[in-house]
Structure 1
Amino acid sequence: MNLHFFPSKRIAFYMAKTFLLRSLAVLAALVLILMTLDLLGESGKILRQPGNGDAQLWQYVSLRIPMLIARFLPFSVLLGTLITLATLNQNSEIVSMKAAGISAHQIIAPLMLASLFVAAVSFAFNERIVTRAAATLAAWEAVEYGPVPPSTGVSSNVWVRTGDDLILARQVSGKREQTLLRGLTIYHRDGGILHSVIRAESARPDNGGWLLQNAELFDINGTAVRRSQTMRVLEGVQTDQFTLARVEPDEQDFWTLRDSIRELKTAGRPTGALEAGLWHKISGPLSAVLMPLLAAVAAFGLARSGQLFVRAVIGMGLGFAYFVADNFALAMGNFGAYPPLLAAWGPFALFLLIGETVLIRTEE
C-alpha cells in the first residue's frame, strides 16, 4: 500500500501543471467575456462626460479587470479542476493511477497543493492591487466618471452610539477641536426604550462635552417640547467618534482594515460587518483550496459507465452551492444575524466536511 501523501513526483508535477494551465485558461476566458459585457454597459456613462474618450475607457478596463479576477478566480479553479479530472478520467489515467495503488486523496493532493499556491497569490493580488483599484473606481463612479475632486474632509450621515444613546450628524467637518456637526439628532434611550429626542442646528466641542446651537428637546413621556439657544450635552463623547471616515472592506488591505476596525470600536461604532469582511479576506482566497475537493467527484467512477457527465454536474453543483452559501453567510454577517467568524469561516468549514465526505464515499 502506498503510504505517501503525494503520488510520484512526475505524476504530481503533471497533474499540477495541467490543473494550473486549464484554470488560468478558464479565468482568462471568463474575464474577457465579462469585461466585454461590463464595458458595453458602462461605456455610455463614461463617454457621456465631456472630455472622456478612449483613454478613459481603457482606464475603466484597467480598474475593473483586477476586481473581476479576484471575484471569479475560485470559480475558475472549480472549472479548471472539473476539466482536468474529467479529462484524466476519460483517458483512463485515473484508473491507471488507482491500479498503481494511488489513493483518491493522493490523486487530489497535487491539485490542492497547487490551489494553495493560487490562494496565496490571490491574497497578495487582492491586498496590493484589487483594494486600490476598488477604491479608485468607487471614487470615480461617485462623480459619474468625471474629474475626481480632491477630498473635502466632509462626511455626511454619520451615526455614533454612546451607551444606549444614538447620535446622527447630517454633516461633519473639521477635526479635533475644530469639529463642527450640522443637523444633529440625539436619541436618548434607556434599556432600549426611547425617552427623548434632541435636535440641534449645529454643535461644537466644549470642554469634554458638546455645545448645541438652536436646540430643541422633545420629551416622549411628557410630550413636551423645550427650545434653547444653547445646550451642553454628550459628556465624554470624543470628536474622533464623528470624524472617522466610512470604511469599505473591499477598499482596504488586511492590516489597514484591522486598524480601522480598532479605531471604530474605540469610537463606539458597530464593526460586525467589517470584521466579517476582514476574515473573508483570508477565507475568500482560501476557497480555491476547496474547489479540487468539491470537484473530485468527477475523477472517480468508470468513464464508460456513462456517469462522467453526471459526476461533473454534481461537482459543479457543489461548487456553486459553496458560493451561494458564502454570499448568504456574508449577508447575514452584514445584518448582524451571524457572528463575524461564523459569517466568514462557516461555509468554508461546512463544505470542507462535505467535500471530504463525498471523496471518501466515492473513492471506491
Structure 2
Amino acid sequence: MGRMFLIRTFGILAALVLVLQSLDLLSESGKILAYPGNHDTQVWQYMSLRAPQIVSRFLPFSVLLGTILTLIQMNQNSEVVALKASGLSAHQVLAPLLLASLGVAALSFAFNDRIVSRATAALDRWQKIDYAPLPPDRGDRTNVWVRDGDDLIEVESIRGRGPDAQLRGVTLYDRTGGSLVSIVRAPAGRRDGDAWRISPATRFDVASGAVAPLGSILVARGVRPDQFTLGSVDADGLSFGGLRAAIVDLSDAGRPTKSLEGSLWHKLSGPLSSILMPLLGAVAAFGLARSGQLFVRAVVGMALGFTYFVADNFALAMGNLGAYPPFLAAWAPFLLFFLIGEAVLIRTEE
C-alpha cells in the first residue's frame, strides 16, 4: 500500500510540474529573452529556479490525489473489504498511507528549507533586475524604508552590515505633526557615531519650493544599522533558521514581526499537511464499489482536501493582515481539518 501510494503521488507530482512549468514558460520566456544577450541557457536557469517552487506548492495536492487513486483501486478490487474482514479497523487500514505521508512531510520540509528558500530568493533578485545577469549575493538590501520619529528615511540600497554599512540614494522626508516640511536627498551615506553622515546633501523646502545645498550633514541620530539591513525580509526566501533569526533581530529593533511569525509557523504546518491528505481522502476507501457511490466518495474526499487548502491560504492571509494571531493562522486549519477527517472516519467506519 505504501509503495503504491508513493508511486502514484510522485507520478502525479511529476505530471503537474511538467504541465505547470510549460504554462509558466509561455508567459515568462518572452521576458527572459527580451534582455539582450539572454538565450536558452537563461531559460533553463529560470526553470531550475522555478521548478522547486512548483514542487513545493503542489506536493500536498499530489498526496491528496495519490491517496484517492490508491484507495479507489483497492476498493474496486475488494482489498479494503478483505482487510476489514480480517479484523483491521479503518485507522489500521490507513496506517501504511499515514506512515508514508509522514515521510513525505519530512522530505518536504527538508526540500523547502534547503532548496526552495534559496531558489525563491535567487529568482526574486533576478526578476527585480528584469532577468539581467545576476550579481553575487553579498547580503545587500534595496528599497528600504525606516521610520525615525515623525521622519521617514528611504534608501535605494545598502551594502555591508554594522558600522561598515554604506547607504546609496538616501532620501529623508522631514515631517512635523504628520505634515511634510522638507525633503533632504543625498547620493551616499555612512555611519558616523550614533548618526549617519550623508553627502553631498540638498534640501527641498515644501513651503517655499526652494532647493538649497547642505554639503555633508548628520541625520537619523539613534537609527541603528540593523534597522536598515532588516528593512526588507522575505519569509519565502529564508530557511526556517534564517527566518527565526531575522524575527529575533527585528523584534530587538522594535519592528513588527507578526506576519513573519505566522510564516515561520507555516514552514512547519505546511509540510505536515501531507499527513492530513490520507485522512481526508479516506472516504474513498470505504463503502462497496458496486453500490455506485464510489465516484461520489472520491469527489467528497477531493472536496475536503481542496477546502483545507482554501482555508489554509485564507488563515495565512488573515495572519499577514494581523486579524489572526500567528500561531492560530498557521495551525488552526490543520487542527480543524484533522478533527473533521477523524470525525468523518469514526462516524462512518468506526
Residue 317 of structure 1, aligned match among 292, 295, 303: 303
The match for 1:124 among 110, 120, 128 is: 110
Give the match for residue 331 of structure 2. Answer: 345
Spell out, residue by residue over 1:84-141, the C-alpha distance to the aligned partner (whole angstroms, 9 max, x if none). Answer: 1111111111111111111111111111111000000111111111112112222222
Please, which of 290, 296, 311 is the counterpart of residue 282 of structure 2? 296
Counterpart of 2:154 (choices 166, 169, 194) is 169
1:149-298 correspondence to structure 2 within 5 Å: 149-150=135-136, 155-161=141-147, 165=150, 167-173=152-158, 176=163, 179-180=166-167, 182-185=170-173, 194=178, 199-202=183-186, 207-209=193-195, 235-244=221-230, 246-298=232-284
Q: Which AA in structure 2 matches 1:200?
A: V
- The match for 2:92 is 106
Name the % identity: 58
| 1:36 and 2:22 aligned | yes
Aligned pairs for 1:4-153 within 5 A? 15-150=1-136
Q: How many residues align?
A: 339
Once residues 128 and 96 of structure 2 are traced to their aligned partners in structure 1, the CA distance between those partners, rounded to angstroms, is 45
1:172–1:243 contact (8 Å) kept in structure 2: no
Question: Do the aligned partners of 1:196 and 1:217 also contact (CA within 8 Å) in 2?
Answer: no
**Would the alpha carbon gap of residues 197 and 286 (structure 1) be closer, same or farther in structure 2, given more than 3 Å must change?**
farther
Counterpart of 2:74 in 1: which secondary structure?
A: helix
Contact kept, 8 Å, 2:151 with 2:172, in 1: the verdict is: no
Q: Which residue of 1 aligns with 2:320?
A: 334
- Name the amino acid aligned to 1:169: E
1:338 alignment partner, SS class: coil
Deviation at 1:81, TM superposition (A): 0.3
What's the C-alpha RMSD, in Å, of the aligned pairs?
Answer: 2.9
Larger mean Cα displacement after TM superposition, 89-98 or 312-321: 89-98
TM-score normalised to structure 1 length: 0.83
- Give the Å deviation of 1:43: 1.8
Where do 5+ consecutive residues of structure 1 fail to align?
Answer: 1-14, 220-226
SS in 2 for 1:167: strand
- Is the contact made by 1:155 and 1:172 (CA closer than 8 Å) also made in structure 2? yes
If the length of structure 2 is used for normalisation, what is the TM-score?
0.86
Q: What secondary structure does 1:119 align onto?
A: helix
Give, in whole Å, the separation in 1 of the partners of 2:45 and 2:218: 50
* Structure 2 SS opposite 1:158: strand
1:138-163 alpha-carbon deviations (Å, 9 max, x no partner): 2222222221234687644423356x
Q: 1:188 to 1:303 in 2, by over 3 A?
A: farther
